[in-house]
Structure 1
Amino acid sequence: MTRPVDSGVIFIARVALAILFLWSGVMKLLGYAGFVGYLQAKGVPFVQVGAPLAVAVEVLGGLFLVLGFKIRPLGIFMAVYCIVTAVLGHDFWNVSDAAMQRDMLIHFWKNVAMAGGFLLLFVTGAGGLSIDGARTPRGGRGLR
């Protein structure tokens, strides 16, 4: 880190991303049958594996974001997850209803934007306000 404020800004970015994933993962868990039905209706393959995996990724990924744990590998993993879910879950090109297509388009690009945020976390690391930051040697740059 070159400025003390950077760790705080990175922490806020991590929490902002985490809120979405924690909320989404918990809602998927609470409405699990509906989530599975949605995936089946979209033609997503291997729903029996994909549904619990998606819930686990979103809840655990959200917790890791808040804690700042293993942020660099998490950043790459979550960026890929966001792109895969954009393509499988928000396939606007297959929707004929104009209002639904617009909604799917917005969600598709939201996922792409989140992937960009995760790639930035891969580059910056967790910042000082994190488990990763606490584990970084004091003489280091603090970017883990």
Structure 2
Amino acid sequence: MTWLDLIAVPLLAKICLVSMFPLSAYDKIVHWGEAMDQAKSGPLPFPALLLILGIAVEAITPALIVIGLWDRAAACVLAGFCVITALMYHQFWKFPRFWSRNGQGRTHLWDFFKNFGLVGGLLLVVIGGSYAPVLQVVAHPLSNGPTSAPSILDRR
């Protein structure tokens, strides 16, 4: 395998996966009042402490994931953060007509599912596994990943 397979593509994937979190931490600092209002709107106690912890998680764990230092632990913490945020602060089901175009909870619906999409990506960092060589993926784009069960396409 080449540096492209072992370093460049996995690094780019991790950067893409976590790039929004440091920006979110910065936004919470710059717009502290709005962030505090959102933290107070949830059911959890100690909103100021939670906001500070959230900023720390969003600022530190992405760096650890990208540089590969305690990346599995950092991905677990960040995945937990995403689950808690989704369940406590994006309760779309509490809004009437959340699915309709003008429904109040529509934004919460999509934020809820985006958080769980991020959880899935972060869990892939946790479980690790081997990376498929980029050229192999390009040559066989419909084949299964390295940890999947073999399919009919893989037998060809």
Question: TM-score, normalized by length of structure 1?
Answer: 0.77
- Distance in 1 between residues matched to 2:26 and 2:66, nearest whole Å: 15
- Distance in 2 between residues matched to 1:45 and 1:76, nearest whole Å: 23
Look up the SS of the partner of 2:36 in the other structure.
helix
Show the counterpart of 1:115: 119
Q: Any residues of structure 2 matched to 1:1-144 within 5 Å, and which? A: 3-4=1-2, 5-96=5-96, 98=98, 99-124=103-128
Are the structure 2 counterparts of residues 39 and 10 from structure 1 closer, same or farther at C-alpha, using a change threshold of 3 Å? same
Show the counterpart of 1:132: none
- Tell me, which stretches of 5 or more residues in structure 2 are unaligned? 132-156
Q: Percent identity over the alignment?
A: 26
Q: Which has the higher contact order (CA 8 A, sep 6+)?
A: 1
> Shift of the alpha carbon at 1:54?
0.3
CA-atom RMSD, angstroms? 1.9
Show the counterpart of 2:151: none
- Distance in 1 between residues matched to 2:54 and 2:38, nearest whole Å: 13
- Deviation track 1:94-113 (CA, whole Å, cap 9, x = no partner) reads 12364331211110010001
* Alignment: residue pair count: 124
- Tell me, which stretches of 5 or more residues in structure 1 are unaligned? 128-144
Question: Going by fraction, where is helix more abundant, 1 or 2?
Answer: 1
Amino acid at match of 1:100: Q
- Deviation track 1:5-61 (CA, whole Å, cap 9, x = no partner) reads 143222112101221101111101111121011111233322122010001100111
Show the counterpart of 1:135: none
Look up the SS of the partner of 2:19 in the other structure.
helix
- Distance in 2 between residues matched to 1:15 and 1:33, nearest whole Å: 29
Q: Rg bigger for which structure? A: 2
> Once superposed, which parts of structure 1, at least 4 consecutive aligned residues long, lie more than 3 Å away?
none
Amino acid at match of 2:109: L
Are the structure 2 counterparts of residues 25 and 85 from structure 1 closer, same or farther at C-alpha, using a change threshold of 3 Å? same
